[in-house]
Structure 1
Amino acid sequence: MKIANFGVEEWLNVWENDAIYDIAGSSIASFTLEEIIKIGNKTEKEFFSEIMAKKMNYGWIEGSPEFKKQVSLLYKNVSPEDILQTNGATGGNFLALYSLIEPGDHVISLYPTYQQLYDIPRSFGAEVDLWHIREEKNWMSDLEELRKLIRSDTKMICINNANNPTGAVMEEDFLKELVKIAEGCGAYILSDEVYKSLETGIEVPSIVDLYDKGISVNSISKTYSVPGIRIGWVAANHELSDIFRKYRDYTMICAGVFDDYLATYILENKEAILERNRKIVSENLDIVKKWVENEPKVSLIFPKYVSTSFIKLDIPVDTEEFCIKLLKEKGVLLVPGNRFDMPGYARLGYCTHKDVLEKGLEKLSEYLREFE
Structure 2
Amino acid sequence: MKLPRFGVEEWLNVHEKSAIYDIAGVSIKALTLEELFDLSGIDKDTFFNQLLKKKMDYGWIEGSPEFKAQVSSLYKNMPVDNILQTNGATGATMLALYALIEPKDHVISMYPTYQQLYDIPKSLGAEVDFWEVQEDKGWLPDLDQLRRLIRPNTKMICINNANNPTGSLMDASYLKELVAIAKEVGAYIFSDEVYRSFDHPAPSIVDLYDKGITVNSLSKTYSIPGIRVGWVASNAEVASILRDYRDYTMICAGVFDDMVATLVLKNKEAILERNRKIVTENIALMDAWIADEPKASWIRPASVSTSFVKLEVSRSIEDFALELLQKYGVLIVPGNRFDKESHVRIGYCCDKEVLQKGLEKLSQFLHKC
TM class by shorter chain equals over 0.9
Alignment-mate amino acid for residue 358 of structure 1: Q
What's 2:210 paired with? 212
Q: Map of 1:105-254 to 2, 5 A cutoff? A: 105-199=105-199, 202-254=200-252
Provide Cα deviations, 1:141-176, integer angstroms capped at 9, x if missing partner.
Answer: 110000000000000000000000000000000000
Divergent runs of 4+, >6 A: none
Provide Cα deviations, 1:281-310, integer angstroms capped at 9, x if missing partner.
Answer: 000000000000111111011111010000
What is the DSSP-based 3-state SS (H/G/I as helix, E as strand, rest coil) of the residue aligned with 1:81? helix
Range with bigger deviation, 109-118 or 44-53: 44-53
Alpha-carbon RMSD: 0.6
Q: TM-score of the superposition, structure 2-length normalised?
A: 0.99
Give the deviation of 1:26 after TM superposition: 0.6
What's 1:257 paired with? 255
CA distance in 1 between partners of 2:116 and 2:77 (Å) = 26
Which structure 1 residue ranges, 5 or more long, are not aligned? none
Alignment-mate amino acid for residue 279 of structure 1: K
Give the deviation of 1:45 after TM superposition: 1.1
What is the DSSP-based 3-state SS (H/G/I as helix, E as strand, rest coil) of the residue aligned with 2:27? coil
Give the deviation of 1:361 after TM superposition: 0.5
What's 1:283 paired with? 281
Give the deviation of 1:370 after TM superposition: 0.2
Provide Cα deviations, 1:332-366, integer angstroms capped at 9, x if missing partner.
Answer: 00000001111111100000010110111111111
CA distance in 2 between partners of 1:303 and 1:51 (Å) = 40
Give the deviation of 1:203 after TM superposition: 4.7
Alignment-mate amino acid for residue 77 of structure 2: N
What is the DSSP-based 3-state SS (H/G/I as helix, E as strand, rest coil) of the residue aligned with 1:370? coil
CA distance in 2 between partners of 1:72 and 1:203 (Å) = 17
What is the DSSP-based 3-state SS (H/G/I as helix, E as strand, rest coil) of the residue aligned with 1:278? helix
Provide Cα deviations, 1:187-213, integer angstroms capped at 9, x if missing partner.
Answer: 0000000000001xx351000110000
What's 1:3 paired with? 3
CA distance in 2 between partners of 1:334 and 1:278 (Å) = 23
What is the DSSP-based 3-state SS (H/G/I as helix, E as strand, rest coil) of the residue aligned with 1:155? strand
Give the deviation of 1:234 after TM superposition: 0.2
CA distance in 2 between partners of 1:73 and 1:141 (Å) = 30
Give the deviation of 1:226 after TM superposition: 0.6
Give the deviation of 1:273 after TM superposition: 0.4
Give the deviation of 1:4 after TM superposition: 1.3
Provide Cα deviations, 1:97-131, integer angstroms capped at 9, x if missing partner.
Answer: 00100000000000000000000000000000000
How many residues are paired up? Answer: 369
What is the DSSP-based 3-state SS (H/G/I as helix, E as strand, rest coil) of the residue aligned with 1:286? helix
Which structure 2 residue ranges, 5 or more long, are not aligned? none
What is the DSSP-based 3-state SS (H/G/I as helix, E as strand, rest coil) of the residue aligned with 2:67? helix
CA distance in 2 between partners of 1:85 and 1:159 (Å) = 20
CA distance in 1 between partners of 2:108 and 2:88 (Å) = 23
Task: Give percent identity, aligned residues only.
Answer: 64
Provide Cα deviations, 1:25-44, integer angstroms capped at 9, x if missing partner.
Answer: 01000011110111113111
> Is 2:32 aligned against 1:29?
no
Give the deviation of 1:80 after TM superposition: 1.0
CA distance in 2 between partners of 1:50 and 1:139 (Å) = 47
CA distance in 2 between partners of 1:161 and 1:103 (Å) = 26
What's 1:267 paired with? 265
Give the deviation of 1:52 after TM superposition: 1.2
Taking a change above 3 Å as real, the CA distance of residues 310 and 274 of structure 1, as seen in their structure-2 partners, is same
What is the DSSP-based 3-state SS (H/G/I as helix, E as strand, rest coil) of the residue aligned with 1:351? coil
What is the DSSP-based 3-state SS (H/G/I as helix, E as strand, rest coil) of the residue aligned with 1:216? strand
Alignment-mate amino acid for residue 164 of structure 1: N
CA distance in 1 between partners of 2:328 and 2:14 (Å) = 17
What's 1:104 paired with? 104
Alignment-mate amino acid for residue 308 of structure 2: F
Alignment-mate amino acid for residue 158 of structure 2: C
Alignment-mate amino acid for residue 364 of structure 1: L
CA distance in 2 between partners of 1:10 and 1:299 (Å) = 26
Alignment-mate amino acid for residue 169 of structure 2: V
CA distance in 2 between partners of 1:113 and 1:102 (Å) = 21
Q: TM-score of the superposition, structure 1-length normalised?
A: 0.98
CA distance in 1 between partners of 2:350 and 2:201 (Å) = 25
Alignment-mate amino acid for residue 38 of structure 2: K
What is the DSSP-based 3-state SS (H/G/I as helix, E as strand, rest coil) of the residue aligned with 2:77? coil
Alignment-mate amino acid for residue 86 of structure 1: T
CA distance in 1 between partners of 2:250 and 2:301 (Å) = 34
CA distance in 2 between partners of 1:264 and 1:146 (Å) = 38
Taking a change above 3 Å as real, the CA distance of residues 26 and 78 of structure 1, as seen in their structure-2 partners, is same
CA distance in 1 between partners of 2:184 and 2:41 (Å) = 48
